[in-house]
């Protein structure tokens, strides 16, 4: 199950006026690597449709699309390091990860997209090679302990959310409904993440900007 199909299921449940918390059937198993890969591919397709002006469009976070992509470049690097149990060399302080990284040139649009895709490919390559034991092994992400498979699914929802943020900023495709971008919970991410992985620590998706 991917974020897009989970969203459709959640909306159908809401339309049917399902009582909160009531099961809708047997849970569907999720392949964490596939979930991440397919969601990243959706974002990659969206990036192909952007032109130079689109990268300067403002997102709901007050950053440009280019700056949001800088953030994602850093997060892919951090995600891979976490899954491989390696320390992350970047700056983990501040708001959106990566925005203060001088090594990422946000003015080079082609290079920026290529850098994000290289980071995505690195995460996919590592995730596809993980054994069942490695997927259930504990990793640390933003000082939060969770399993590697939970991290991949959580990242899938971050990519899904930011793809919608970009589409909304450039008015491309279906625009998502308004949602809070500050405060303790970003409700759609929290609901979807915990629907896929009930044991996923809620603190992973409680940051106001991004996990």
Query: Residue 112 maps to which CATH number?
Result: 1.20.120.450
pTM score of the predicted model: 0.71
Domain hosting 74: range is 30-177
Residue 200, domain member (yes or no): no
pLDDT digits (tens), the chain, 211 positions = 566 677 777 777 666 665 656 666 665 666 889 889 989 999 999 999 998 899 999 998 888 999 999 999 999 999 999 999 998 877 776 666 777 777 788 888 999 999 999 999 999 999 999 999 999 999 999 888 999 999 998 999 899 999 989 999 998 765 433 333 222 233 334 334 433 333 333 333 333 333 3
Residue 116, domain member (yes or no): yes
pLDDT of residue 19: 63
Residue 6, domain member (yes or no): no
pLDDT of residue 95: 62
Residue 10, domain member (yes or no): no
> Do residues 80 and 118 make contact, with C-beta atoms less than 8 angstroms apart?
no
Residue 124, CA distances (Å) to 35, 38, 127, 152, 193 in order: 10, 10, 5, 10, 19
pLDDT of residue 194: 37
Residue 158, domain member (yes or no): yes
3 state DSSP class of 144:
strand
pLDDT of residue 123: 96
Residue 194 burial by Cβ neighbours in a 10 Å radius (0-12, 13-18, 19+): middle
Residue 143, domain member (yes or no): yes
Residue 7, domain member (yes or no): no
**Pairwise CA distance, residues 67 & 57, whole Å:** 10
Residue 205, domain member (yes or no): no
**Pairwise CA distance, residues 208 & 54, whole Å:** 24
pLDDT of residue 191: 36
How many structural domains does the chain have? 1
Q: Give the model confidence (pLDDT) of 102-127 as tens digits.
A: 778 888 899 999 999 999 999 999 99
């Amino acid at each position: 199950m991917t974020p897009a199909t989970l969203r459709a299921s959640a909306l159908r449940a809401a339309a049917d006026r399902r009582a909160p918390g009531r099961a809708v059937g047997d849970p569907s198993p999720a392949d964490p690597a596939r979930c991440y890969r397919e969601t990243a591919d959706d974002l990659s397709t969206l990036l192909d449709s952007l032109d130079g002006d689109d990268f300067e469009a403002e997102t709901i976070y007050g950053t440009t699309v280019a700056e949001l992509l800088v953030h994602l470049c850093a997060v892919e690097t951090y995600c891979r390091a976490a899954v491989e149990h390696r320390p992350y060399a970047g700056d983990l302080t501040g708001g959106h990860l990566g925005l203060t990284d001088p090594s990422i040139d946000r003015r080079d649009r082609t290079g920026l997209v290529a850098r994000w895709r290289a980071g995505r490919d690195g995460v996919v390559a590592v995730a596809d090679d993980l054994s069942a034991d490695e997927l259930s092994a504990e990793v640390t992400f933003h000082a939060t302990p969770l399993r590697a498979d939970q991290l991949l699914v959580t990242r899938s929802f971050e990519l899904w959310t930011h793809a919608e943020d970009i589409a909304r900023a450039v008015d491309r495709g279906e625009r998502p409904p308004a949602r809070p971008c500050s405060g303790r919970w970003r409700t759609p991410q929290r609901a979807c993440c915990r629907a896929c992985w009930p044991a996923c620590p809620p603190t992973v998706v409680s940051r106001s900007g991004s996990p």
